[in-house]
Amino acid sequence: MPFDQILVQIVNGLVNGMILALVASGLTLIFGIMDIVNFAHGDLFMLGAYMGTTVYLTTGNFWLALAGSVLGMAALGALLQVTALRPLVGRDPLTTILATFGLSLVIQNYALWQYGPVPRKLTEPVTGHFALFYVEYPWYRILIAVLSAAMIGALYLFMKYGKHGIWIRATTQDRVMAEAMGIPVPWVHTVVFAIGAAMAAASGVLFGPLVGINHAMGFDFTLKAFVVVVVGGMGNLAGSILASIFISLLESLASIWVSPAQAIIVSFVALILTLLFRPTGLFVPTPK
């Protein structure tokens, strides 16, 4: 096996891993705080990408498309949380899977209806390439990885030092106590869902130029994000980021030998092994 092919796949894996980390950290945030398993997360990602194409068509500017999509999806996320998920607070977490599954069907078919079955493409803002062994590697992919890392870093700083970030962490730790201390817990939930949706939208727009955007692409990401969140330890932000990179590297390396469709099985096997032998997650300290 040629050594440079492995190295190129490692770079690919890292880039895909950063996009996945951006999607998965939104999912983790939502799960950790609200116990909501968001089945529609990949569809928020897909809708965000489509929203990016709409803004791009009117303004012609990729960065405006990114900003517009992020703001639009944050607003939509807040609306969805208030209307569809708030009534389910305190019920069995399984009912939230059902509700978000319904949401996923609605969003997918709405996208199909609104944008049609022909995949759409976003144009990347940076078109240069550089030589990486035998391929001309696009700078844009590197940019995606850096931007994703920056956004996750910003989220981390916000959660660690921002006043509202501290509210969010307090709600995660103890919902009742947080409420008693005067934190408006229902609104914290809404804002967290909005942040999760916005991060999904950002990754959708960033990912858009790499593939054709279509209404069914969300499901793959929902599934991958689930895998990552479980492998990384449910509700653990750092764990899910590491797991994103780990899983994407596995898939990239596997795709040297098998077709990309079959490479997905590698990550599924990683999930099942994790669930069997270390159900608390690979990248978290062993609970006492």
Of the candidates 40, 180, 52, the one whose C-alpha atom is nearest the C-alpha of residue 102 is 40
Of the candidates 36, 56, 54, the one whose C-alpha atom is nearest the C-alpha of residue 197 is 36
List C-alpha distances in Å: 48 to 35, 168, 178, 214, 262. Answer: 23, 24, 32, 11, 27
Indicate which single residue of 5, 9, 101, 249 sits in contact with another protein (rule: CB under 8 A). 101
**Shortest Cβ distance from residue 20 to another protein (Å)?**
16
**Is residue 61 near another protein by the rule CB under 8 A?**
no
CA 191 to CA 195: how far, in whole Å?
Answer: 6
**Is residue 261 near another protein by the rule CB under 8 A?**
yes
**Is residue 106 near another protein by the rule CB under 8 A?**
yes
**Shortest Cβ distance from residue 50 to another protein (Å)?**
15
Encoded tokens for 94: 């399984």
Indicate which single residue of 60, 93, 116, 119 sits in contact with another protein (rule: CB under 8 A). 93
Which residues lie closer than 8 Å to 16 by C-beta, 6 or more apart?
Answer: 248, 251, 252
**Is residue 37 near another protein by the rule CB under 8 A?**
yes
**Is residue 257 near another protein by the rule CB under 8 A?**
no
**Is residue 118 near another protein by the rule CB under 8 A?**
no
- State in Å, rounded, how far the first CA of the chain is from the last one: 43
Indicate which single residue of 60, 184, 275, 285 sits in contact with another protein (rule: CB under 8 A). 275
* Interface map 131-170 toward another protein (x if CB under 8 A): ----------------------------------------
Indicate which single residue of 97, 132, 142, 210 sits in contact with another protein (rule: CB under 8 A). 97
**Is residue 227 near another protein by the rule CB under 8 A?**
yes
**Shortest Cβ distance from residue 221 to another protein (Å)?**
13
Indicate which single residue of 1, 182, 276, 288 sits in contact with another protein (rule: CB under 8 A). 276
Residue placing its CB nearer to another protein in the complex, 89 or 166: 89
Residue placing its CB nearer to another protein in the complex, 65 or 229: 229
Of the candidates 116, 98, 105, 122, the one whose C-alpha atom is nearest the C-alpha of residue 42 is 105
**Is residue 99 near another protein by the rule CB under 8 A?**
yes
Indicate which single residue of 108, 190, 203, 248 sits in contact with another protein (rule: CB under 8 A). 108
Indicate which single residue of 92, 116, 123, 174 sits in contact with another protein (rule: CB under 8 A). 92
Binding site for another protein (CB under 8 A): 37, 84, 87-88, 91-95, 97-99, 101-103, 105-106, 108-110, 112-113, 219, 223, 226-227, 230, 259, 261-262, 264-265, 268, 271-272, 275-276, 279
